[in-house]
Structure 1
Amino acid sequence: MIGERWALLVVRELLFGPKRFTDLRSGLRGISQNVLSQRLRDLEAGGGVRRTVLGPPASTQAYELTALGNALEPVLVAMSRWGALTPAAPDSEMSNDAFALALKALFVPAPRDGFRGRVRLRLVRDAFDVSVEGVGIDVARAAGADPDLVIEGTEATVRAVLFGRLTLNDAVAAGDIAIAGDRRRAAAFLARFALPDLAAEPAP
């Protein structure tokens, strides 16, 4: 069910909630309509994906993960963490959902004085709420009113700040990132993420 090309990437795009067929294609650059249709049929037949209907204002057909499909999240987080060892080129693009998954993969537990709280990360065409409490992190598609801290920018710019290719102050000065709230807290939030260090990984 998940061994064919694109199958796990389809699951990745559905981890944060249901999507229409057109939204799935937008997040999976390079996939053809026929291949996406086949992968969805395979995943549906295997019990990992089901069809649903998005509510008003537009009642349209969409796809969502079942409990079986959602059980793949730890696999995808581990793959995202592994993939970060060979970072994409600075000018490359990730889908918003791939980036949201990467936040889970690259989160670094910190001492008690590290950032805690909820941040809305507003990317192009989507937004996610990231909640940090001690050693735990939760990432969900944004819902409800804005929290006290909102960071807005393209995925590529936020990624450049996370990985140290661009400072937060420079990104704000250039107008590439906008912050609603305390900039120091925004910097502390972004400092909770780092590339994996193989030397620090526990032995198998």
Structure 2
Amino acid sequence: MAARDYGQYGGITRALELVGERWAMLIVRDLLVGPRRYGELAAGLHRIPSNILAARLKELQATGVIRRVPHSRVIVYELTPYGRELEPVVLALGAWGFKTLGDPRQEQVITPDSMTMDLRTAFRQQVAANLPPTAYAARLGPAELFIRVDGSALDVRRGDGTADLAFAAGADIRRLISGELTPHLAIATGVVEVLRGPGDLLERFASTFHLAV
């Protein structure tokens, strides 16, 4: 049984019955990055009450969106093939929400999984296909991500690595991704700090990751 029954028959109604409860889509978002242990999900969604997380996981399992599987002697949660079909929906929601994102409130945080999905949302495959392969090491608030673009393929992972360009930024990275700031101005105003590599590669990053507002 779905957690909520709207008493209507239709595809959108059914979708909301499956993933419309609070926190459900954020659980799906994080699992789109990769399988997660219960504690990893709780840490990435640091304001979710433990009873709500447990309830949402149970509901999403019951409706075939996620499953529990053994992995390296621990149990992890992962999306089923049916659940992975939500990826374009999540990316579309991210692009829609980006238009009115604004500045972060003081209590809001950046997580590696949320930033990974934001980058996947902003990724422009057709542009990247015509650019040389490039690796970026990005420190985005507390999130450290290694980003590799090879043609139309994007790989984003936690951690550092040998990169063509390493840079640091905060939530204001959205001003670069939206086109509000040029790469030159982003560096000049301190929105982006170049740590290693030629700063002009930030132009390539801004071309590869862009969401108009």
Larger Rg: 2
Distance of aligned partners of 1:76 and 1:51 in 2 relative to their CA distance in 1, 3 Å threshold: same
Provide TM-score, normalisation by structure 2.
Answer: 0.71
Task: Tell me what 1:86 maps to.
Answer: 100
Name the SS for the 2:68 alignment partner.
Answer: strand
Matched, 1:179 2:189: no
Number of paired residues? 188
Q: Structure 2 counterpart of 1:2, which letter?
A: V
CA distance in 2, matches of 1:73, 1:141: 17
Name the SS for the 2:203 alignment partner.
Answer: helix
Q: Structure 1 counterpart of 2:202, which letter?
A: A
Query: Where do 5+ consecutive residues of structure 2 fail to align?
Result: 1-17
Matched, 1:119 2:119: no
Task: Tell me what 1:69 maps to.
Answer: 83
Deviation at 1:43, TM superposition (A): 1.3
Query: Where do 5+ consecutive residues of structure 1 fail to align?
Result: 198-204
Name the SS for the 1:156 alignment partner.
Answer: coil
Task: Tell me what 1:147 maps to.
Answer: 162
Percent of pairs with identical residues: 29
Name the SS for the 1:79 alignment partner.
Answer: helix
Of 186, 195, 198, 1:167 maps to 186
Distance of aligned partners of 1:188 and 1:64 in 2 relative to their CA distance in 1, 3 Å threshold: same
More contact order relative to length (CA 8 Å, sep ≥ 6): 1
Distance of aligned partners of 1:15 and 1:154 in 2 relative to their CA distance in 1, 3 Å threshold: farther
- Conserved in 2, the CA contact under 8 Å of 1:99 and 1:155? no
- Conserved in 1, the CA contact under 8 Å of 2:30 and 2:41? yes
Deviations along 1:109-136, one digit per CA (max 9) or x if unpaired, are 4387656423233442542434252xx3
Matched, 1:41 2:58: yes
